[in-house]
Amino acid sequence: MNAAPSWLQFRLGGQTHALEAAAVRQIMRAPQLTPLPLLGAHSHSPGLMAWQGRPLLVLDLGACLLHRPSVAGDDARFLVWTQAQQAGVLAVDGVGPLLRLSATTLTRHWAPAQPGLPPPWSAIRGLLHAGDSADTEAPDLGRALSEPIAVFDVAALWQACWNRLHHQASGEDER
């Protein structure tokens, strides 16, 4: 089966980003979290969450990418993801609809990320953009992509935010 890719849109601040939808297993609102006292107050992690009998570390993408928490907002969502043997939870400001594009439309509206971006931005795989507004195959795409959407590799993003958290917890400069 060769299905067209789909992405789950999520919000951080005033920007929309996306993750490959196949990696997202569940979207939760305000799950019970167990705090991790050793991480301290400057943490990108609000704690651990139990999911299907296993503890998963929650990383706050707002804190990691924008230096302000996502978990405090009323619309905050927790995205449980798995990919290969990895799993985790990402807290975001909110979620949007799935974005599905045919291979033809994707060819017109995808720009691969340039190598060399610093972490965590190095987890961006590409940008979805409106491109030619006269695209008859996807007339609503121009509205959905009024601004480019950064598409992240979920495992790479989680790892980059974990590395940032680890460096802060050990007292190293995060730059």
Which domain CATH number covers 62? 2.40.50.180
Question: How many Å apart are CA 119 and CA 123, to the nearest integer?
Answer: 7
Q: And the tokens for 62?
A: 């707002």
Q: What is the pLDDT of residues 54-104, one digit of tens each?
A: 999 999 999 899 888 888 778 899 999 999 889 999 999 999 999 888 888
Are 19 and 10 spatial neighbours (Cβ–Cβ below 8 Å)? Answer: yes
For the chain, the domain total comes to: 1
Q: What is the pLDDT of residues 147-167, one digit of tens each?
A: 889 999 999 999 999 888 777
Residue with tokens 């050990």: 170
Q: And the tokens for 127?
A: 């940008």
Helices vs strands, H then E, count in the chain? 4, 11
Q: And the tokens for 90?
A: 């990402």
Helix (H) or strand (E) holding 154: helix 154-169
- The residue among 26 and 136 whose pLDDT is bigger is 26
pLDDT at 139 over 60: no
pLDDT at 106 over 70: yes
Report the mean per-residue pLDDT for the chain: 83
pLDDT confidence of residue 125: 94
pLDDT confidence of residue 45: 84
pLDDT at 42 over 60: no
Question: How many Å apart are CA 120 and CA 38, to the nearest integer?
Answer: 23
- The residue among 29 and 134 whose pLDDT is bigger is 29
Answer whether residue 175 is part of any domain: no
Answer whether residue 174 is part of any domain: no
Whether pTM exceeds 0.75: yes
Structural domain containing residue 65: 6-169
Helix (H) or strand (E) holding 62: none
